[in-house]
Structure 1
Amino acid sequence: MMQILRRIRTLVIKEFMMILRDPKSRMVLIVPPIIQFFVFSYAATFDLQNVEFAVLDESKTVESRSLISHFSGSKHFELVQRLDSTAQIPEMINTEAVRLVLHISRDLADNIVNGDSASVQVIADGRNSNVASIALGYVQDIIQQYSASLRSLTPVIRGRTPLIQRAWFNRNMETRWYIVSSLGGIISMVIVMTLSSLSVAREREFGTFDQLLVSPFQPLEILIGKSVPCVFFGLADAILLSLAAVYWFAVPFRGTVGALFLILLAFMLAIVGVGLFISAISVTMQQGLLGAFVFIMPAVLLGGFTTPISNMPQWLQYSTVINPLKYVVQGLRDIFLTGADVSAVWNYVWPLCIISAVTMPAAAVMFRFRTQ
């Protein structure tokens, strides 16, 4: 037993040295995670800022000017032009000069004074449906705020039931919290997949694979020796990015460190198993990289990072059961935002353990098969 551990330790040290001495591997470990983290964190957000809109005010009253001020005073909207007639509206939308046009009718003030329902028309550019739906949500919030201000000033329309909104876990509805909290799992997956998918293929391409075959090392020992550095660097990157999420982007960390370490460790083991399986069936490093990216793209799309899994077709939801990223994305969000502990994230950990129990032996079998 001591000899086996000694051989595995030798392989682990050798693998660490190969990774750290290779300039390309060092580049993969340091530069891409930092760049990807900050680019995704700042660029990938569902919040809209300074949405350009035009207004056609046919009322030209104190009430209409007050409504316009609610829009222009919001950080989400920017008034760029005032229109004179409805004939100008199609041109503004068709040429993408604005994303929204606010059309205020002539009878707005009269309806407000009489206590009648006052309608405001909003024309949105629907070519980007996601942006349009979010912008219309902001419009609805502003209209509700404007209506609330009218109720406080106009006794005629008092007595209506106000809508009080409250968001748990993310009071200000910052989408950056939602994205950054799980970003460490995705970026570390890319790093671990790249390292593990190249580990065996690198040996073949450099001509050192034959030396491993004639050495006293068993195939399982070689795979363990190659797994440990990948898991170590993946954990290091994920924890570093989690610290950046807390101290740079001020994302709250409400869970426990033990839960964070446990789910990341289970996730790294599952990803390393997939990466080593790809590497075991690859002859060149190019094939290993291609196999890694063939896995990464569907995993990200089906992982629930940007698109909720519940919105996918039912048959596609079933396929996400074998996606390791699905569990770490939801687990990290629960740890950061809802304060999940070890017992709460166990529902995400045991599927990752099952995936590891399948991928690791599969990689060992393929490695043994390719060595024969």
Structure 2
Amino acid sequence: MFGRVKALVIKELLAVLRDKKSRMALIMPPLLQLTIFAFAATLEVKNVSLAVLDKDGGQAAVELVQRFAAAPYFTKIITLHGQEQVAPALEDETAMAVLVINQNFSRDVAQFRRATPVHPQAAVQLLLDGRRSNTSQIIQGYASRIVEQYNADYASTYNLRGPPAELVARNWFNPNLDYLWFTVPNLIGMLAMVVGLMVTSLSVARERELGTFDQLLVTPLHPLEILAGKTIPAMIMGLLEGFLIVAVAILLFRIPFHGSIIVLAVSLFLYMFSVVGFGLFISSLCNTQQQAILGTFTFMVPASLLSGFATPIETMPHFLQIISLANPMRHFLVAVRGILLKAMPLSMVFDTLWPLLVIALATLSLAGWFFSRKLE
């Protein structure tokens, strides 16, 4: 049995590696996608257009506007000359936000230095485009930080008594909040899944289109041996592709690697085992390569959305959180980020990845059942 499976594995590997187009399709697209997605698939908000209506024009107001202009997020400052220009700036999406400074702003700031029982409030209004709620929340956070720093510098300059409590933020595992440290590890899981699914789902469909599937049926190979021969090559290619992407992530994008290479290898093996299960299940349902490609992308879209890559799973409806438990990418992304960024040990990794074994057994069993039915 082992010799027959070995021969089929070698045949599958040679069928892919001897074809120049297949070799290019396995290597170039994932590397290009890693490079493009690392910068394009980002939830950061940059290059913000900010409209400013300064009704005051005093020194304090000018300094505050200059702080917004100097911030790296606000790259375009639009000066408004009247209240009637505020609404069109947001409605026409000329600006993502509008900063309105009250006409008494500088006077109220100056009076704050005086020892009066009640200090006047220096009002600053920030108007946000509610149609882009997530973007607006992020911009509001940027603006709050600028105003807080303005208050702190002002209090330090004039030796004013500061607030009774001070908030000091520390960002564990990503001190500089470099978004590539979040995006690139996620792309390792996504691109490895693409390769594993494509190789596996196209395998049986290619045999049927070329007419060689009937030749397999007259060989001494058992259906389970055929399944094993289709699974192992996809596992090998997926693992090699996964480690290639990890190497590019570390060497090119400078993503830190604090964990163990052995733990990463075990995690990637379990992940690819579950992925090829889905690939074989798709392949067992398809008769042509076109159907297999459509089935692969039909699975990839919801798998990516339900993995926590774009949006936190905790923010999804409860029934989608339950469905996402059957998604292998959800479990692997938690593990790969933990291994790379915070040296997650094997025990914690297994607590995260043990559902992949259940997923793999379920999908491989279904694939074997459908495969056996089509052989009858």
TM-score (structure 2 length as normaliser): 0.94
Partner of 2:107: 110
Partner of 1:253: 257
Partner of 1:56: 53
Amino acid at match of 2:56: S
Work out the CA distance in 1 between the residues paired with 2:139 and 2:17: 48
Cα pair 2:200 2:279 within 8 Å, conserved: yes
Partner of 2:307: 303
Q: CA deviation at 1:163?
A: 2.2
Cα pair 1:28 1:191 within 8 Å, conserved: no
Gaps of 5+ in 2: 113-118
Q: 1:37 aligns with which of 34, 37, 41?
A: 34
Partner of 1:286: 290
Work out the CA distance in 2 between the residues paired with 1:348 and 1:24: 37
Cα pair 1:262 1:349 within 8 Å, conserved: no
Deviations 1:4-47 (A, max 9, x none): 11111111110001112334432330221012111110111222
Matches within 5 A, 1:67-216: 67-115=64-112, 116=119, 117-216=121-220
Matches within 5 A, 1:329-344: 329-344=333-348
Deviations 1:200-252 (A, max 9, x none): 11111100011100011111111111111111111111111112222222221
Amino acid at match of 2:355: P
Q: CA deviation at 1:308?
A: 0.8
Q: CA deviation at 1:195?
A: 1.0
Partner of 1:15: 12
Gaps of 5+ in 1: none
Any idea what SS the aligned residue of 2:256 has? coil
Work out the CA distance in 1 between the residues paired with 2:204 and 2:76: 58
Percent identical among aligned pairs is 39
Q: CA deviation at 1:365?
A: 2.2
Q: Identify the range of structure 1 (42-51 vs 267-276) with the bigger mean alpha-carbon deviation.
A: 42-51
Any idea what SS the aligned residue of 2:269 has? helix
Cα pair 2:46 2:74 within 8 Å, conserved: yes
Partner of 2:350: 346
Work out the CA distance in 1 between the residues paired with 2:47 and 2:196: 38
Any idea what SS the aligned residue of 1:80 has? strand
For the aligned residue pairs, the C-alpha RMSD in angstroms reads 1.5
Amino acid at match of 1:286: Q
Deviations 1:264-316 (A, max 9, x none): 10010111111112112221112212222221111111111111111011111
Q: Identify the range of structure 1 (194-203 vs 88-97) with the bigger mean alpha-carbon deviation.
A: 88-97
TM-score (structure 1 length as normaliser): 0.95
Cα pair 2:43 2:310 within 8 Å, conserved: no
Q: How many residues align?
A: 369
Work out the CA distance in 1 between the residues paired with 2:25 and 2:160: 66
Any idea what SS the aligned residue of 1:155 has? coil
Q: CA deviation at 1:175?
A: 2.1
